[in-house]
Structures are given as C-alpha cells and as structure tokens.
Amino acid sequence: MSKAAVIGGGISGVAAAYYLQQYGLEVDLYESSSRIGGRIGSECVEGRWLDFGGKNIGRKYRRFREFVTELGGLDFEYFGFNTSQVINGKVVRLNKEKERLFNILRVLTLAGFGGTLKLLPLVQAVSKDYGQGFLNTPYFNALADHFDDKSLASFFPKGCADHLIRPVTVRMNGAEPEECYPGNFGSNLALVLDSYEQLKQGMQGMLERFKVHAQSVKLLTGHHVKALEYSNGETVLHYVHGSESRRERYRKVLVALPAVQASALFSDSLPMLSALLDQVQYYPVAVAIARYRDDVFPDMQRAMVFDRFSPLSNAGAYSIRDLGIVRYTFSGTTARSVVTKESLPDDVISLGEKIIEPYFNIKQNSRQNFIYKYIFPGLCAYSPYHYRMLQKLDELVKPFKGLLLTGDYRRGASLEACFRAAAETVDLVIQQDAA
C-alpha cells in the first residue's frame, strides 16, 4: 500500500487524511500538539468536552456531512440562526426561526437602498449556485478583478458595512470590513444564507470516532515538522519528536496548515512560496466558554453582536439547550488592542460579563466554571485579489510532484470549505500518479 504524509492535524489535515484513505493510501498524520483538532479543538470541563472552534454545521455542508455519516453514530441537534445587535441604543434582532418576512424587511432596512443594490446580485449568485459560496469561484473572481482595490468598507455604504457586513466578517474572519475584500465575500454569504445544526457529541466526539474509523491513518501527535525540502522526487520532512530531531521522506505530502504556519516550512527551501503564503492575513481571536448557575439567554435571543468600539465581538449561548453556557468571542481591531496573549483569562471574561450585563441575565448569576483560549493564528481574512495568489501558489508548487498544499485559505474557513479544499487537493495528487 502506498504511503502519504499530511502535516497538520486540524480539520483540514483530518479531511486530507480521510480522502487519502478513501483512495487506499496509508497516511502518516503529523501534529505538533498532543492531540488532533487544531482550531476546532476542545477542552474538558466537569466531564464534558466544549468546543472552542467552528462547531456549527450548515444544512448545505454536503462533504462534511458525508464524512460524519461514514463515521457513524453521530447525532445532530438544531442550532438555528438567532442573533441581535445594538444599533443607536436599540436592540435589533434577526431570527430565521420566526417572522421570516419581517426579518427580510429588517435586513433591507439595515442595508439601505444603496446597500441592497450592492448585496442583491451577490446574494443571488450564491443562492442560485452554492458552489459560488467558496473562495476562488468564477463569479467572485470576476468581482475581485473589478473591485478588490477597495475593501468591503468602501464597496458597501457605511450603514450596510457597519450593521450587516461587519457582524459577519468579525465573526468569520476576525476582521473589520476595511480588512476584507469583495472577491472573497462569497464565503461569508454562504455562511449567512445557510441554517445550522451541531453534533450532540461535539467536535471531540467526531474526532474520537475518526481515530477509530481511520485505520489506515497513523496519528503522529507531538511530532513538530520544522522544515520541508524537495529532493529527487521526494519531499523530506525535518521534524522534532521529544528531544530528537529526525527526517522522513515521502513521495506524497499534503501540507494542511494555516498559510502563516505553512510559510515557515518553506522559508529556506522555497522562499518565493513562503513569501506568497505570508500574503494571507490572519487575526488573533480569544474565546472563552463560561457556565453560569442560571440561564443567561432567553430562548428567542440567544446571541448578540457588538460594534467596533467593543472588544467583545459577539456572545452567544453554547447551544439551544445550553442557555446558561456563554461563548464569548473577542475579535476585531478593538479586541486586538485590549486582549493580548498576556491577558489574564479571568480579566477577559469579567470584561465580557460587564459588556453583556445590560442585555442578559448575568449580574446576579454566578459563574460556575470556564475555559479560555487565545488563538493565533486565529481567523483567516485572506488577501485582496486572493484567487491570483492561489494561482501563483499552484504554479510555484507544480514542479514538485507529490507536494501539495491545502487549508483554510484555499476555499474558505468553514468546515465544508476545508473539506472541499482537501478533496480537491487529494484528487490532484492522485491524478499526478495517473499522468
């Protein structure tokens, strides 16, 4: 049986290993930390695993759902789309579960006439063809050619950018509208236009099931790949395990890391590729999950997005049945200046509690426990003319048969986008053998 290596045990690496196994290959999956999961990783609190990363699964996530089905025995529960924000001192709610027509009118009001004219053709493109809701697609590549010299803050009228665009970009990309670009916006729209479920067993349950299912995948946790070089038709991995430095050679290697981490692997052997990967922008994000004595949220108002002046970008119920577990997310420009790697977790959570106190049941509601993580690289905001960067990347890698790259910067940061990118990359490496 042929063998391949996957570098990175996050969701992109898991997807790459899964698809390689589907083609009958043995896989060595290299992960620098003590367990797989990466940015979808979990922590155990009072015997329950809670997920830090993306845990919402869209109804249109075909590839990811096929993966979950094959693992077997994993149940979904409804999560929905239920959020609110404060605009000019008033709480404005958006809820797909009820009052559909009313919420459409509310969106149109927030967008304004000019924003609606800008948004409508983009929404129609993704609604008619879900495939346009990823990075590097024909419709949005053409949009990039015309408008990626501007940010989303310039592309859309101010009110639309502040009240409709920012809640999406700061949540998905950790970025303000002025840090994101029209050519990449299809991946944001796909997020908004879908409805969501969660796994009852959480992402940790899915990862545990993957370990059992992936019989041809060898999980090499605690193996930190430091550099790659290409020699005589093979890719040489230089890695550290424990106190030992080692090397391993493979004819098939898929790098499934965030672009900023993938860049470091090529800084000596392929500096042009490294420089290209460095163009992809990542922003830090701090996530806290706190459990309270009583419910914090009412059933029909399970989340709130805050404006750019708040370090707390959003706060929401962990799930539809966990209204007393709050997930705090700190991202965006203000968060970057207030919350750093050195910030004390209790201080950060106390700040979040102070911000949500006027709107939810938090003041006399004692905090029972919490987990906290500062993540960098955190959320991916891509780059202007991003598809051109991807084209250059593929041209640079093309001479090195068997060496390919996948990750959140290829098709987008959603679970489905990571699986789509991994599937396409695995198909390419298999086609190289057939050629």
Q: pLDDT per residue over 243-261, tens digit each?
A: 999 999 999 999 999 999 9
How sure is the predictor about 91, in pLDDT bands with cuts at 50, 70 and 90? Answer: confident
Of 349, 355, 351, nearest to 325 by C-alpha is 349
State residue 409's pLDDT score: 98
Quote the mean pLDDT of the chain: 93
| CATH code reported for the domain at 281-381 | 3.90.660.10
The structure tokens 């900023």 sit at: 260
State residue 98's pLDDT score: 58
> How many of the other CB atoms lie within 10 Å of CB of 318?
23
How sure is the predictor about 79, in pLDDT bands with cuts at 50, 70 and 90? Answer: confident
Longest dimension (CA), the chain: 67
Of 174, 85, 142, 241, nearest to 379 by C-alpha is 174
SS3 content of the chain, % helix, strand, coil (to 5): 40, 30, 30
Task: Report which DSSP code applies to 163.
Answer: I
pTM, whole model, 2 decimals?
0.95
Task: Report which DSSP code applies to 161.
Answer: I
Task: Encode pLDDT of 154-176 as tens digits.
Answer: 999 999 999 999 999 999 999 99
CATH architecture of 3-75+201-280+383-434: 3-Layer(bba) Sandwich (3.50)
User: Is the Cβ–Cβ distance between 257 and 422 less than 8 Å?
Assistant: no
Mean pLDDT computed over 110-134: 94
* Phi and psi, residue 310, nearest 5°: -100, 135
Question: What CA–CA distance (Å, rounded) separates 51 from 41?
Answer: 6
User: Is the Cβ–Cβ distance between 416 and 54 less than 8 Å?
Assistant: no
> How many of the other CB atoms lie within 10 Å of CB of 281?
21
Q: What percent of the chain has pLDDT over 70?
A: 96
Task: Encode pLDDT of 355-389 as tens digits.
Answer: 999 999 999 999 999 999 999 999 999 999 999 99
State residue 84's pLDDT score: 84
The helix/strand/coil state of 66 is helix
**Residues β-bridged to residue 48:** 45
Residue type, 290: A
One fold for 3-75+201-280+383-434 and 281-381: no
Task: Report which DSSP code applies to 60.
Answer: T
Please report, to the nearest 10 degrees, the dihedral formed by the alpha carbons of residues 16, 197, 375, 389 taken in order.
Answer: 50
Pairing of strands 3-7, 26-31: parallel
Pair of tokens at residue 122: 């983009």
Please report, to the nearest 10 degrees, the dihedral formed by the alpha carbons of residues 196, 202, 205, 210 taken in order.
Answer: 40
State residue 241's pLDDT score: 97
How sure is the predictor about 108, in pLDDT bands with cuts at 50, 70 and 90? Answer: confident
Tell me the domain boundaries of the chain: 3-75+201-280+383-434, 97-192, 281-381
The structure tokens 């098939």 sit at: 252
Task: Using alpha carbons, list the distances in angstroms from residue 31 to 86, 157, 407, 414.
Answer: 41, 44, 14, 20
Of 193, 195, 196, nearest to 124 by C-alpha is 193
User: Is the Cβ–Cβ distance between 136 and 390 less than 8 Å?
Assistant: yes
Helices (H) and strands (E) in the chain, counts: 15, 20
Question: What CA–CA distance (Å, rounded) separates 228 from 48?
Answer: 38
Of 61, 9, 17, nearest to 35 by C-alpha is 9
Alpha-carbon 328 to chain mean position: 16
**Residues β-bridged to residue 6:** 29, 254
